[in-house]
Amino acid sequence: MDFALSKEQRDIVNAAREFAAKEFTDVALEFDRNETFDLNLWKKACELGFVGVYLSEKYGGGGYGFLEHCLIMEEFFAADAGIAVAILCTTFGSELYELFGTEEQKQLVLPKLVSGQAIMATAVTEPDAGSDPAGTTTTAVKEGDHWVINGSKMFITNGDLAEFVNVFAVTNPENPSRHGRHSFILVPKGTPGLEANKLRGKLGVRASDTAELSFSDVKVPLSNLIGEEGKGFYQLMELFNRARLQVAAMGVGLARAALEESVKYTKKRKQFGVPISSFQLTQAKIAEMATMVRAARNLCYEAAWSVDRGFIDHGLIAMAKWYAGDAGVKCSEMALQLHGGYGYLDEYKVQRIYRDAKIVEIWEGTKEIEKLVVARAVLQQ
């Protein structure tokens, strides 16, 4: 068993860390306060090859695996989660094309995603259905050589920016299995009837775009179907298998940032004439954080390593996602506590980490859903 990163992987980590430190630090607070982002930063990250490293070289990707993508995720999220989402989640859903897309679809979307020409969104959640994607009701009906899509989607990352929207819609309502009714269909930006409404006032990851989408008689060619008709639910599970380990890497980055901020601050801050790091109650928190970061990272990287070798263990992936989310939330809470009143101010990065960390326990399957997946996997063994 080899836990060491290769020289190439260490180079990727160092390059990502350097880029994030240089580009995120001065703008993170402003983007967070104003809920804005500068798309030039995303373009720069694309130019430097940080976006879509897991995609095939044939389509302009890095030709690496999800492990390398997770390494970049950890570095970017440790620097600033909102900016990291705005940059790295622009390819969310590209996995559907690599796995199920036609050659023409791959050629159409993938090179644009990695070269900073287009952003992708994947729209599954609806106002009345989140944890239960099979319960979503947006419809796509065949009319001649087109799909006609009607319905609405909620909380869609990049919904307001995306050139390509992958819509999860009911195409086979008569199928007796609720897992055989949906398909993914590509809707390009600007298609008449597609409207996006940016959501404001998020707790965290405020630099990233989140929108609700409405589809009113949106017409796209039948050839915009991604993969096989009626297989959307199973495709979504495959997407989750890859996306959840990326979310786990987000949790690792956030937990690590909480630890790093705590180490810096407690060594410097003095009370009763000594650094607060010398108090054993502080040390207990530091020890808990350091252990959680390590455990979360090991779960996440084992899951990514397995997926890269074609072995999909959805129980392990769900464990990594749940545990890393828990690590992010708990470590950021301890870190804020260690900062006392200063941690309550947004000028201190630790406040942002505390707010940003919560999303890891919500998107791509809440922590409760992840625990159900883990339990099912264990009980089936």
Ligand X SMILES: Cc1cc2nc3c(=O)[nH]c(=O)nc-3n(C[C@H](O)[C@H](O)[C@H](O)COP(=O)(O)OP(=O)(O)OC[C@H]3O[C@@H](n4cnc5c(N)ncnc54)[C@H](O)[C@@H]3O)c2cc1C
In angstroms, the CA 79 to CA 98 distance is 29
Question: Of these, 125, 138, 262, 351, which contacts ligand X (CB under 6 A)?
Answer: 125
Lookup result for tokens 């070289």: 57
139 CB contacts (<8 Å, ≥6 apart)? 149, 150, 151, 169, 170, 171, 173
In angstroms, the CA 71 to CA 92 distance is 17
> With binding defined as CB under 6 A, does residue 368 bind ligand X?
yes
Cβ atoms within 10 A of the Cβ of 156, count?
Answer: 23
Stretch that binds ligand X, among 34-42, 238-246, 349-357, 362-370 (CB under 6 A): 362-370
Stretch that binds ligand X, among 11-19, 63-71, 118-126, 248-256 (CB under 6 A): 118-126
Query: Closest-CB residue for ligand X?
Result: 130
> With binding defined as CB under 6 A, does residue 123 bind ligand X?
yes
In angstroms, the CA 108 to CA 221 distance is 14
Q: Which is nearer to ligand X, 71 or 359 (CB)?
A: 359
CB 84 within 8 A of CB 71: no
In angstroms, the CA 147 to CA 220 distance is 5
Question: Six-digit token pair at 135?
Answer: 């319960």
Task: State how far the alpha carbon of 144 is from the alpha carbons of 65, 147, 148, 315, in Å.
Answer: 40, 8, 10, 42
Report how many residues bind ligand X under the rule CB under 6 A. 18
Query: Helix 66-79 crosses helix 280-308 at what angle (to 10 degrees)?
Result: 150
In angstroms, the CA 285 to CA 101 distance is 47
Stretch that binds ligand X, among 75-83, 152-160, 182-190, 350-358 (CB under 6 A): 152-160
In angstroms, the CA 280 to CA 265 distance is 15
Q: Which is nearer to ligand X, 128 or 143 (CB)?
A: 128
> With binding defined as CB under 6 A, does residue 366 bind ligand X?
yes
> With binding defined as CB under 6 A, does residue 124 bind ligand X?
yes
CB 63, min distance to ligand X, A: 26
CB 154, min distance to ligand X, A: 7
CB 246, min distance to ligand X, A: 12
CB 327 within 8 A of CB 295: yes
Site for ligand X in 190-209 (CB under 6 A): 202
> With binding defined as CB under 6 A, does residue 325 bind ligand X?
no
CB 227, min distance to ligand X, A: 17
CB 4, min distance to ligand X, A: 34
Q: Which residues belong to the active site?
A: 364
Q: Which is nearer to ligand X, 120 or 258 (CB)?
A: 120
Contacting positions for ligand X (CB under 6 A):
122-125, 130-131, 155-157, 202, 210, 359, 362-364, 366, 368-369
